[in-house]
Amino acid sequence: MKAAVVVFPGSNCDRDVQVALTRSMGAASDTKAPSNGAPIMVWHKDADFDKVDLIVLPGGFSYGDYLRCGAMAAHSPAMREVVRRAKAGVPVLGICNGFQMLTETGLLPGALLRNARLKFVCRDVHIRVETSQTLFTSRYQAGAALRVPIAHHDGNYTAGADQLERMEARGQIAFRYCEADGAVTEAANPNGATRNVAGVYNEAKTVLGMMPHPERLADPALGGIDGRPLFDGLVEALS
Amino acid sequence: MKARIHVTLKPGILDPQGKAIQHALGALGFGAVDKVRQGKVIDLELAETDPEAARANLTEMCEKLLANTVIENYAIELDAGPERSTAP
């Protein structure tokens, strides 16, 4: 599998994603000298990057979250190319700021608003895997509760009522915030997101946006590995 | 030509910042405030002098970047800007 991670001014989770993917790809773990198996890092101004099997939009504060989170990044040359390839079926994973970019480009429906209680929330949460029948979740069981960190100020997912119904019917809800036992409750919702939505797919389930950070819990040294199967599953599906 | 864009949240979109402002006003003694919603103002100075062309350009700017039309409305005011403020 060949993968690309797009780096914007202000991205800060790009190397974490590179490390997580590299591990899953079984390549050298020394990210200063990535082997052929490691993902390529694409600078936002570069619209001309290699053909890859997976594109990742990492977390961070691209363009300082100016105007709206992900709004400026959505118009960078690399993103225009990402949109073009996504429409042609290339899988794209957007994490946190990456999810915000995906909604700003319209590749995913809905929008991410300021957290309902106005605080930047930085802690581990649990999310329930809604379906295991996708490129991204094939290594998980449907209904499994994963522990993953979140760190965001604007993760409050919203979409119109009709839009949500269509998304539910088509299985486009990827993850929901839940208790450790998988129960989807208001108490488990860290940011007020409608229906506890933590991640969504496009209709074809080739594009996934999620607010939590699977790359931050993909190594025992980080305190957990619940995020690892997401990357393992992608490598398996796309190699 | 000067232009002023008002970007506001669509009705029904949750505005926790507006609520926080309402509470803060209440804490200051301004109790008779039923609702607060916060938007943003973007002032631009355009080289374009024709109002029709300016309005068309600004509409495109709003649709593509200045507003997220999933959750925001926008209003365009031509010949408007900071100097028009009524504040002293």
Question: Measured between CB atoms, does B69 come within 8 Å of chain A?
Answer: no
**ipTM here:** 0.86
Contact list, A103 vs chain B (CB under 8 Å): 70
Could you tell me the pLDDT band of residue B84, with boundaries at 50, 70 and 90?
Answer: low
Sheet hosting strand A40-43, strand order edge to edge: A40-43, A3-7, A54-57, A92-95, A207-210, A197-201, A173-178, A121-129, A145-152
| Averaged pLDDT, B42-52 | 96
Question: Measured between CB atoms, does B20 come within 8 Å of chain A?
Answer: yes
Domain segments of chain B: what residues? 2-82
pLDDT at res. A239:
86
Contact list, B65 vs chain A (CB under 8 Å): 67, 71-72, 75
Q: Which of B17, B20, B71 comes nearest A158 by C-beta?
A: B71
The low-confidence residues of chain A, meaning pLDDT below 50, are 28-35
Neighbours of B80 (CB within 10 A): 17
Q: Which of A72, A113, A116 comes nearest B71 by C-beta?
A: A113
The domain defined by B2-82 folds into: Mth169; Chain: A , (3.30.1280)
The domain defined by A3-238 folds into: Rossmann fold (3.40.50)
In this prediction the pTM is 0.93
Contact A75 B65 (CB under 8 A): yes
Domain segments of chain A: what residues? 3-238
Determine which of A102, A105, A114, A153 to mutate to test the interface with B (most B C-beta atoms within 10 Å).
Answer: A114
In sequence order, what are the beta bridge partners of A126?
Answer: A147, A178
